[in-house]
């Protein structure tokens, strides 16, 4: 492994992070908030460390698989560590563990918080807190690739490790061009939602902050009641629509731009994703209307919003869904595992993996009836390799194993099974709120420091698709051999 290359790229990454703190500083200066000194110090510290690291000379310029693995894993840990500086230095979140938890939750687009009353925080801090969603949504390393083409041909190793889903592909031949296309789409969606929320009566500040949490599928809000603070069906529907759009594979938007409409609408993962949303909204809407709501329109509005929020792993709330009937809560709990589409900003298992698993089950049933038959698994008309199928099944097994183990460990906090399991499912799926003691009207502040560090690790595991972090701790990763 070329440690020089790793250190140099990580230094560039921290330099980019320092620059990305500047908008939050400008917000603090504009509103004359007390956190401006904290941002100045954070930018200086992060920038200096990044500059020194970026001066490191490597033995080669290309990035191979091992380096890509180390850069992505250590990159997310470093940006979370330095990203927590504004919280600590401003005194908004004095505890380093709490600040690290909040920052990891932001960058991984989880949205879990330890802040009991966010409305007491200064506006610069609130902006940075939500801006981390926007940065982490598409991936800060993908952003770095987009603006630092000096990474060269090895940049695909970073893109491949960081991209969510089992089959990361370039949209166009050059990975830097792919990154730029993704971010142009990201910018357009961000700008469009901000404009639409302004029409709904939101201030520019609130519209921007909530848009960061929507397109990044994060869920941090400036209000204690989250999006429910805005008693506006227009705002709820706009945010709900953009949450669902952000859970779609972003490469499909590029196909739409090229006029390949049929190819998009025939995409099996997209159809499964939209089908699950439709069925879930209908079932929950009917259930809560018959038991709690007197207005079927409001019932379906809240069902639409919360289904979109949970399956895309955004975590916004318009109502306390923890008070919904068990049937509705069970559906939402299952959606925590489904997640968005591969290549989206959403977390969870991803719909493409669910699709392949269903087809694998169907194939095994068919082989009982026709033992000699050779039945390939296909998605969108293309055969899925046995290697990919094996990777998906092992990912699913590991995901469930980590979920069970995490639930057992977090239960040492003294929480009930519903609270423990939903807290772990929320962290691993990068969702935000759970049920019970970590429900939409609660925070994670009561959990111990060790519990918060465990949940932070689970958030990183979920964001980096499990294997990246696990492979990092294997001894052979660090041996000087061709990987």
Residue 218 assigned to a binding site: yes
The neighbouring-strand residues paired with 383 are 378
Instruction: Using the structure block, give the residue that is written with the tokens 């009566």.
Output: 201
C-alpha to C-alpha distance for 407 and 405, rounded to whole angstroms: 5
Return the sign of the alpha-carbon dihedral for residues 365, 350, 142, 480: negative
SS3 call for 223: coil
- Intra-chain end-to-end CA distance of the chain, in Å: 9
Instruction: Using the structure block, give the residue that is written with the tokens 């603090």.
Output: 28
The DSSP annotation for 377-428 comes to -EETTEEPPHHHHHHHHHHHHHHHHHHHHHHHHHGGG---HHHHHHHHHHHH
Residue 113 assigned to a binding site: no
Tokens of 171: 């949209």
The answer to whether the CB of 72 falls within 8 A of the CB of 163 is no
The answer to whether the CB of 246 falls within 8 A of the CB of 239 is no
Closest CA to 152 of 74, 70, 73, 58: 58
Residue 109 assigned to a binding site: yes
Instruction: Using the structure block, give the residue that is written with the tokens 């999006």.
Output: 227
Query: Of all helices (H) and strands (E), which one includes residue 222?
Result: none
The answer to whether the CB of 137 falls within 8 A of the CB of 241 is no
By 3-state DSSP, what share of the chain in percent is helix, strand and coil, each rounded to 5?
A: 70, 0, 30
C-alpha to C-alpha distance for 431 and 311, rounded to whole angstroms: 8
Tokens of 358: 């269903």
Residue 319 assigned to a binding site: no
C-alpha to C-alpha distance for 69 and 50, rounded to whole angstroms: 19
Residue 110 assigned to a binding site: yes
Annotate 72-102 with b (16+ C-beta within 10 A) or e (fewer): bbbbbbbbbbbbbbbbbbbebbeeebbbbbb
C-alpha to C-alpha distance for 188 and 181, rounded to whole angstroms: 11
Instruction: Using the structure block, give the residue that is written with the tokens 């731009």.
Output: 257
C-alpha to C-alpha distance for 444 and 91, rounded to whole angstroms: 19
Mark the binding-site residues, compressed into ranges.
109-110, 218, 313-314, 430
Mark the binding-site residues for K(+), compressed into ranges.
109-110, 218, 313-314, 430
């Amino acid at each position: 492994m070329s440690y020089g290359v790793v250190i140099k790229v990580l230094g560039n990454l921290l330099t980019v992070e320092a620059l990305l703190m500047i908008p939050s500083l400008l917000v603090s200066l504009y509103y004359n908030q007390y956190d401006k000194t904290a941002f100045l110090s954070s930018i200086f510290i992060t920038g200096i460390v990044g500059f020194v690291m970026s001066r490191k000379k490597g033995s080669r310029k290309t990035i191979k698989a091992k380096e890509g693995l180390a850069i992505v894993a250590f990159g997310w840990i470093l940006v979370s560590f330095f990203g927590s500086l504004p919280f600590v230095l401003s005194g908004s979140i004095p505890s380093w563990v709490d600040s690290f938890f909040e920052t990891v939750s932001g960058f991984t687009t989880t949205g879990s918080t330890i802040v009991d009353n966010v409305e007491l925080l200064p506006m610069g801090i609130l902006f940075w807190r939500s801006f981390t969603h926007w940065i982490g949504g598409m991936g800060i390393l993908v952003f770095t690739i987009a603006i630092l083409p000096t990474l060269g041909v090895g940049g695909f190793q970073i893109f491949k490790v960081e991209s969510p889903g089992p089959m990361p592909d370039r949209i166009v031949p050059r990975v830097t061009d792919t990154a730029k296309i993704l971010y142009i789409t990201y910018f357009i969606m961000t700008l469009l939602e901000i404009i639409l929320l302004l029409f709904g009566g939101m201030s520019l500040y609130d519209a921007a902050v909530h848009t960061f949490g929507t397109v990044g599928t994060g869920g941090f809000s400036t209000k204690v009641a989250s999006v429910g603070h805005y008693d506006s069906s227009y705002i709820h529907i706009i945010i709900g629509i953009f949450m669902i759009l952000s859970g779609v594979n972003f490469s499909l938007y590029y196909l739409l731009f090229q006029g390949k409409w049929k190819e998009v609408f025939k995409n099996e993962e997209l159809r499964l994703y939209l089908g699950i949303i439709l069925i879930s909204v209908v079932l929950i809407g009917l259930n809560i209307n018959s038991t709690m709501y007197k207005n079927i329109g409001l019932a379906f509005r809240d069902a639409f919003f919360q289904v979109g929020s949970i399956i895309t792993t955004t975590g916004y709330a318009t109502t306390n869904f923890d008070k919904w009937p068990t049937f509705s809560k069970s559906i939402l709990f299952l959606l925590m595992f489904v997640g968005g589409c591969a290549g989206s900003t959403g977390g969870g298992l991803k719909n493409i993996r669910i699709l392949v698993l269903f087809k694998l089950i169907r194939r095994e049933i068919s082989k009982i009836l026709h033992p000699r038959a050779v039945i390939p698994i296909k998605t969108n008309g293309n055969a899925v390799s046995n290697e990919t199928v094996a990777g998906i099944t092992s990912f699913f097994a590991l995901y469930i194993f980590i979920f069970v183990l995490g639930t057992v460990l977090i239960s040492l906090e003294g929480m009930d099974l519903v609270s423990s399991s939903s807290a772990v499912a929320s962290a691993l799926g990068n969702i935000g709120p759970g049920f019970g003691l970590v429900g939409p009207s609660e925070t994670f502040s009561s959990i111990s420091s060790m519990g918060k560090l465990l949940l932070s690790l689970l958030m990183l595991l979920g964001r980096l698709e499990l294997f990246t972090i696990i492979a990092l701790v294997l001894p052979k990763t660090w041996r000087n051999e061709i990987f």
